[in-house]
Structure 1
Amino acid sequence: MNPKILIVFFLLLNLTSISIQNPNPKSKIPKSIPSPAHVELAGYGFPVGLLPATTVLSHNINHTSGDFSVKLGGACKITLPPDNYVATYSDTITGKIVKGKIAELNGIRVRAFFQWWSITGIRSSGDDVVFEVGMITAKYPSKNFDDSPACEGQHSAF
């Protein structure tokens, strides 16, 4: 093999290993590219982490009535921060959305106090997100939902 080619090869190999060992700590690599549904959710004032990091097959929003539906690639189970409640997402999530408020929500359930509860609404209130389960509410910092959680158990439609 040509000695010049060997030298170039070893230099490239060395540069590659240096860049892998010393990544730029200021550069942020996104965990995943948000879907259009995640982007639209953020446009209504909600953190993208309210939707799991799963394949969003489609979403529809009637901008007049606020009616929406999100079709996921399959049902999904996640753990909600910070209290580690287990939540399940159906393959289809529906409700009504306006700036800062989701109502008539169907398709998301959470396990608390040894029972499954349907989350019926979500409000974005300043730096907090308020989950509604009927008349009961639970408030958490919005920053807990900055990143979309990965599905722990997904039954893919593919």
Structure 2
Amino acid sequence: MSPLPRRLVVLVLLAAAVAATASAASLSGAANDLLPKYGLPKGLIPDSVTSYSFDEATGAFEIHLASTCYVHFGSHLVYYERTITGKLSRGAISDLSGVQAKKLFLWVYVTGMVAHPDQGTIEFQAGFVSESLSASMFDEVRTCGSSAGAQLRGAAGVIGELGLLPVAQA
């Protein structure tokens, strides 16, 4: 084999190794590790991240999970869609989509999050209402669950919780 084809083979193998390393860097650990750099706890994102993209110039991000999932934070139940998007800035996430929280009998879309380090809280915004929770609840990355247990989302969940009709649970 002449030196030119040999160099080409080495270059192709090196490029493949670099691409594999870059791909691994965009898996779950890196997405969770990005949040503390912006003053937010890493546990806001569950453990099932398969890939993500982040534009440092605009703060826009897109996170892809292995599947939809539920996570319990104390008594709070959160539903994550398979794709989560938003804008990340210092101590805040805005224009958030793909995250819902259960409040009483309803699921509400979480549209933003703001860290209040002086109070040790994270404020979760859902339209014109908000709720602050202890930031320490989100210190650890949580495992995604495939179901909410006996709790269903949407109208079926409300009907089931009110006991109006028996609801088949998947």
TM-score if structure 1 supplies the norm length?
0.71
Aligned residue for 1:144, secondary structure, equals: helix
Matches within 5 A, 1:1-150: 35-54=29-48, 56-81=49-74, 84-126=75-117, 127-150=120-143
The Cα of 1:68 is off from its aligned counterpart by 0.7
Task: List, as ranges, runs of 4+ consecutive aligned residues in structure 1 with deviation greater than 3 Å.
Answer: none
Displacement of 1:113 in angstroms is 1.8
Partner of 1:41, secondary structure, is helix
Which amino acid letter does the alignment assign opposite residue 49 of structure 1? G
Alpha-carbon displacement from aligned partner over 1:124-147 (angstroms, at most 9, x marks no partner)? 111211100111111111111111
| In 1, Cα distance between equivalents of 2:43 and 2:57 | 25
Give the structure with the higher percent strand.
Answer: 1
Paired with 2:145 and 2:53, the residues of 1 have a C-alpha distance of 26
Highest RCO, 1 vs 2 (Cα 8 Å, sep ≥ 6): 1
Q: How far is 1:85 from its partner?
A: 2.0
Please list every run of 5 or more consecutive structure 2 residues that lacks an aligned counterpart in the other structure: 1-27, 148-170
- Percent identity reads 28
**RMSD value, Cα:** 1.3
Q: 1:100-140: per-residue Cα shift (whole Å, max 9, x none)?
A: 01001000001112011000000111121110011111111
> Residues of 2 paired with 1:138 and 1:116: CA distance?
14
